[in-house]
Amino acid sequence: MPVRISLDAEELKAHPLRPGLSVFARIDTGRPGRSMLEPYAAMPPATCRTGVYDTRLDGVDALIDSIVQKNRLPAAAST
């Protein structure tokens, strides 16, 4: 389970972290919390909108048809 640990800058100055240290983590499940599916920060929809992917599939059908035609086996001769 990924965990983000936030440490106070003044506490780190007083007690620096060293390689090889361990941690004992405790998860409080006694109180209802925020759903993991709920975003942590609310952003207006227009803030993160981009059109870069709007045309990414343009021409893909023609490309697929071209690849299929180039790799098609010749038709069997009629007997």
Report pTM.
0.32
Res 46: pLDDT? 66
5 Cβ neighbours under 8 A, 6+ residues apart: 23
The fraction of the chain above a pLDDT of 90, given in percent, is 16
* Cβ-contact 42, 64 below 8 angstroms: no
26 vs 44, which has greater pLDDT?
A: 26
DSSP designation for 30 = S
Res 74: pLDDT? 81
Q: What is the mean pLDDT of the chain?
A: 79
